[in-house]
Each structure stands twice: as C-alpha cells, then as structure tokens.
Amino acid sequence: MTVTLLVLGSGTSQGVPAIGCRCDTCRSSDPRDNRLRPSVLLSVDGINILIDTSSDFRQQMLRYGVTRIDAVLYTHHHFDHIGGFDDLRQYNFLQKQAMQLYGLEETLEEIRLTFRYAFGGARQSGGGLPSAHMHPVLGGETFTAGGIPVMPIPVMHGVLPILGYRIGDIAYLTDLNAIPADSYPLLENLDVLVLDALRHRAHPTHYSLEEAVEAARRIGARRTLFTHIAHNIHHERDSALLPDEMEFLYDGMMITSMQHSP
C-alpha cells in the first residue's frame, strides 16, 4: 500500500504569523514559517482521507486543489480542528453524497452541538447545509474509511482523551502531551511519524520540543516530523537542534510511504 501525506497546515490554533506579533518567526520571509491551522490529507490508492477540518479548511482546499474527500477523521473537537466543517457542503455538492465522518463519540457529539443547524436545528436551509454520516470509533480498534484500514491511536491532550491515526506505515499524532502505555505497540514499525511539538517551553496540553524528541526516540519511526508548531519555533534556526532522523513539517510538504505494515 502506498500512502501519501500532504501537509495542509502545521501551525497552532492561532496560526503563524500570530495576529499583531512582531517576533522573528512571525516576520520571517521563509514560507516554512507561515503555518495554517493543523490538518493533513492522506491519499491511498486514489482515496483521499482528511484528518480534521481545520478553521483554515477552505483556504487549504483552494491552495492545494483538493477536489475530492472520501472521509474525514477527527482527532478531537477543539475549534481549530473542526472549524471548517461547514465547507464540507461543497464536497456534498461535488460528490452528490453525504460526507463520512469518524471520531470518538464525544468528538462527534461536540460537532453536532457546535453545528447543530446541520443536524436538524436549522430554521431555514439558505445556501445549503452540510450533510454528514457520523461513525463513532474506539481507540485501538481498526475500522475502514473509504475502504482503507485505519487504526485509531488513543493519546492524551491534557485531561482530554483524543485520537491519533495510523494508516499503513504513517501515523499522525497531534495535540498531545502523553501517550498511554497501551498505545505504543500500535506505533511499532512506523516509516513516518507526525508528532505534536508545540514550542521549547513546557505546556500543560502539548508536547514541548524536548518531550516530542524523547517520545519519538521511544517510538523509533524511521522518520519523525513535528507539527502543531507555535511561533516560538523558527524553522531554519531550530532545525539545527533536531536529530538527523527528525525534522519540522511545513505547509505544502508531501511525504510518501511505500512500505507495508506488519
């Protein structure tokens, strides 16, 4: 199975540059320091699987020319990960079918509440409503999305249990500050690991860069790429701090894995 990952956004909930900030990263002319809100698109044998509809979703879809989405996997319900939900209605129109959404039951329920007009709460339809079929999943139990096997990986985002996802030999783990012991076996023999690394200083709900490097070493993927990067990290300057097999993601980056899962 060949899996290609396109980085739609590698930034934090505020994005980079941050509004009104004059730090070196926010003023950088390096396009790798310009980061939309976090999301990736995984393509497997012609099937497009999106992880999270970020609050920059429409901009990301236009920027990268994404004309089809077969399924959406949600990591959790914070707004920077679900904010683009309404724009899925354009894909309903293009594909003439409801979108298939997957996530923890709590995550899906929060989407129903946040966008209640799409789930029976609208007084009028106006320009149309997004149409979606919700599929609750459980961490550690493989399911299929668009016919593709997906392993949901339980991780912790502060006190909030959320999900990362593994497809083939690529795993995507964002917005976490702890990996439960039972999740490590689900991350064995990875070709590519995408992992949260917010900033240099400790944070109560995200890995710091030092913590992310330590976790990446324990997981032992062939290649690790850090995401959900705040403006405290400058791509070129701080890349020199990373081990050889680790690097920072940047928007528009594309990674392909052609290895087979065990």
124 pLDDT higher than 80: no
Contact 122, 129 (CB under 8 A): yes
Q: Which pLDDT score, from 0 to 100, does residue 259 have?
A: 59
- Kindly state whether residue 258 falls inside one of the protein's structural domains: no
With a cut of 70, say whether residue 135 has pLDDT above it. Answer: yes
Examine residue 257 and state whether it is found in any structural domain, yes or no.
no
Instruction: Give the percent of the chain with pLDDT over 90.
Output: 94
Indicate whether 262 pLDDT > 80: no
The mean pLDDT value for 185-197 works out to 98
Q: Are 175 and 206 in contact (CB under 8 A)?
A: yes
Give the residue from 62, 38, 36, 60 showing the smallest Cα distance to 51: 38
Tell me, yes or no, whether 66 lies in a domain: yes
Give residue 260's pLDDT. Answer: 52
Helix and strand numbers, DSSP H then E, in the chain = 6, 14
Q: What is the residue-averaged pLDDT of the chain?
A: 96
How many C-beta atoms lie closer than 10 Å to residue 1's C-beta? 14
CA–CA gap between residue 154 and residue 178 (Å, rounded)? 10
Does residue 22 fall inside a structural domain?
yes
Domain tally for the chain? Answer: 1
- Mean pLDDT for 216-243 is 97
Q: What is the CATH number of the domain that holds 182?
A: 3.60.15.10
Say if pTM beats, i.e. exceeds, 0.85: yes
- Higher local confidence (pLDDT), 151 or 123: 151
User: Within a domain: residue 39?
Assistant: yes
Tell me whether residue 260 is in a domain. no
Share of the chain above pLDDT 70, in %: 97
List pLDDT tens digits, range 200-212.
Answer: 999 999 999 999 9
Across 53-67, average pLDDT: 98
pLDDT at 244: 94
Determine the 3-state secondary structure of 180 from DSSP: coil
Residues 173-199: what's their mean pLDDT?
98
Question: pLDDT-based confidence at 121, cuts 50/70/90?
Answer: confident
Range of the domain at 39: 3-121+128-252
Closest of 48, 41, 116 to residue 85, by C-alpha: 116
pLDDT digits over 73-110, tens only?
Answer: 999 999 999 999 999 999 999 999 999 999 999 999 99
Beta strands in 170-239 (DSSP E): 170-173, 192-196, 223-227
Asked, for residue 262, whether it belongs to a domain, the answer is: no
Task: Tell me if 259 is assigned to some domain.
Answer: no
